[in-house]
Amino acid sequence: MRRFLAILLSLIAGSALADDGRFVIVNGTDLSIRELTLSQHDLNAWSPSVLQAPALKPGEAREVTVPSSFVGCNQDFKVVFEGNDTQPIWQYLNLCNLKKIRLAYDRLSGIATATYDE
């Protein structure tokens, strides 16, 4: 019986890990976001953009799907703005519990901040 329960629990955990992650991103900056890339925290190995076209305008929100192939919950986010070379990074975000995130960026100070719901 214990073996059966262990197998059942591993199957349930495996299927939960195989699901794509979804969250809503809100553009709280004053620039349109053209790309959103992810990297495991501090690796600087950036993914292809998970943000679908068109660009996300200031104040807009959109659901983002992150493929289940990402390993680890703690991710860094980097955005590419439309018509601007600045590429700010938001560090150490818990992707596993993320439901909604609002990205803000102060161009004068270069500080990237976020508020989010888990």
User: Cα(108)–Cα(117) distance, rounded to whole angstroms?
Assistant: 27
Residues ≥6 apart with Cβ < 8 Å to 67: 20, 50
Q: Give the confidence band of 3 by pLDDT, cuts at 50, 70, 90.
A: very low
Which CATH class name applies to 20-117? mainly beta
Task: Give the residue from 95, 117, 105 showing the smallest Cα distance to 28.
Answer: 105
Residue-wise pLDDT for 57-94, tens only, equals 999 999 999 888 776 789 999 999 999 988 999 999 99
Residue-wise pLDDT for 23-66, tens only, equals 999 999 999 999 999 999 989 999 999 999 999 999 999 999 98
